[in-house]
Amino acid sequence: MPSNPLHYEKHQRDYTLLGTCVVFQAFLGKGMCSYYDYTPHPLFVLVKNRVLYHFSAVEDLRAWALNWIKKYKTAELLLEHKRVHDEIVRSYETLLEHPPKDAVKAIQEHHKHLEKLVKVITAAIEIPEFCGPALDPALKEACMHIRVENENIIKEGFSHHAKLLERIEREKNIPRGTLSCLTLNEFNAFSKTGKLPQNVLERKDFVLVRHTQGKEEVFLDERELKRFGLISQQDFSLVTELKGQTAFAGKAQGKVHIIKFIEEAQHLIEGEVLVTGMTDPRYVPAMKKASAIITNEGGITCHAAIVSRELGIPCVIGTKIATKVLKDGWIVQVKANHGQVIVLDKKGDGKT
């Protein structure tokens, strides 16, 4: 049966297909489902024209947050879980510094650590987002603390992950970038047999993977997007104002600079308005040059919110559609006090 498209949110990510499949299978694993007493809807990963997106049900994110509160309740318990979580982080850091000589074994160890890490990180992300202003301040502070401490570890982990995949490709004379186009189950099969799927080279242009517990389904036909209710036909051409959440108050005006990939961040010019899906520590040099920051995603504990407060830069997060509506070179006014972005001039070059 098709999924209700209203239930799914689409997010662009700077991960590989394999890396995203690892995280999604962790979300659907027994440890995660037992921790939250909840099994999420199917999760989807899409690669189209070499850009990766994932789709997750908003109801699942909300359920994870509310179930955590119902089951565990207090900041003290979250901090107790964090102590266990921190031991896993330290073990993961040791793995990154001293990986096994066998690259396949090292990657499998990466996957085990990620599966254990997602439980507490998910709680820290979703509890402030969905539990509202009545949330215990101590619990909110604990979530913020976890977000700040863990902002780098998964990014660093996937950077090492990519290098290990490249090493295997060199050793086995496989074209660079091939293994990152596998799903998790396919990589596990490859590690045993050395065989690759016949269609793997087609995936840089289009592939859709549907995840359920322990199962991955691979589709190479774009019509599947419609069957699963993952296509939005909304026309954004007449939108001249965006609403989001205030991350740091203030007012700014400037030229839009869209950043879709981290490699593009170095081209942002001082005083431009940085517009992106979401930020992470790699974006900080560009954020320091921006007159304002606008994101599609994020809540009060997200990276963009934390860094904009530290830098004192007006920031509006969670607009959902900023990168779809705005174009490079447009002039916008950011009224972050009101979570508002107003298009003043559309005469820019519009190169997005």
**What are the chain's domains?**
5-227 (no CATH), 241-345 (3.50.30.10)
Output the pLDDT for position 42.
95
Q: What is the pLDDT of residues 324-333, one digit of tens each?
A: 899 999 999 9
Helix (H, G, I), strand (E, B) or coil at 143: helix
Residue 134 pLDDT: 83
Res 9: pLDDT: 84
- Count of CA atoms in the C-beta half-sphere (13 A) of 3: 24
Q: What is the pLDDT of residue 352?
A: 41
Question: What is the widest separation between alpha-carbon atoms in the chain?
Answer: 58
Helix (H, G, I), strand (E, B) or coil at 345: strand
Q: How many Å apart are CA 273 and CA 271, to the nearest integer? A: 7
Half-sphere exposure (Cβ direction) of 119: Cα atoms closer than 13 Å: 28
Q: Which residues have C-beta within 8 Å of that of residue 350, sequence separation ≥ 6? A: 327, 328, 329, 330
Q: What is the pLDDT along the chain (352 residues), one digit of tens a residue?
A: 344 444 788 888 888 999 999 999 999 999 999 999 999 999 999 999 888 999 999 899 999 999 999 999 999 999 999 999 999 999 999 999 998 999 999 999 999 998 899 999 999 999 998 887 788 999 999 998 888 888 778 888 888 999 999 999 999 999 999 999 999 999 999 999 999 998 898 888 899 999 999 899 999 999 999 888 887 767 787 889 999 999 999 999 999 999 988 889 999 999 999 999 999 889 999 999 999 999 999 888 899 999 999 999 999 999 999 998 999 999 999 999 999 999 999 876 544 4
